[in-house]
Amino acid sequence: MNRLFLGVSFLVAIILLISCQSKTQAVTTKVEQSTTRAMPIDSNGIGEVVKTPEEWKSILTAEEYRILREKGTERAFSGKYWDNKEKGMYHCAACSLPLFDSYTKFKSGTGWPSYYQPVATENVREYKDNAYGMVRTEVTCGRCDGHLGHVFDDGPEPTGLRYCINSASLKFEKTGK
């Protein structure tokens, strides 16, 4: 009888241990996921823009809101800047932060505007994105956290990066000739 009691007690202890471990892992995963999108403390001097969804809707078009605030994407070859060859600066459509210089724009063949580097590293943020069964790196505005697109490691020199950005997340300011 003692052996049976010890065996059952041991089995119950193992089940409880496994149960507690899986609950701890689930909580840890939820905490990691919830902090992934947290806004970092702004020490880079570019300021931070935080608005309610209603405030964003009042200043953005429906398409800009869908992309910048809801992480949408536009169809390839449909955005206004994918084939833009003019010289100038591409700013965030939500908060006007300078993001990409036309000097770093290149033809990627993807149908979205592509750049090999941002104007300044602090002007964009990068987050791990596992949506839709893919592992990618999401790019957001460094000031307002608006979704811009994704960055990939198949770009040209000197960085080897391809910032694949939605036109609707950008406003272009032409400079000179």
Q: Which one of 92, 95, 141, 164 is the catalytic residue?
A: 164
164 is catalytic: yes
147: tokens are: 């979704």
Give the number of other Cβ atoms within 10 Å of residue 48's Cβ: 14
Residue 19 CB contacts under 8 Å (≥ 6 apart), including other chains: none
Residue 125 CB contacts under 8 Å (≥ 6 apart), including other chains: 40, 139, 140, 141, 142, 145
Catalytic residues: 164
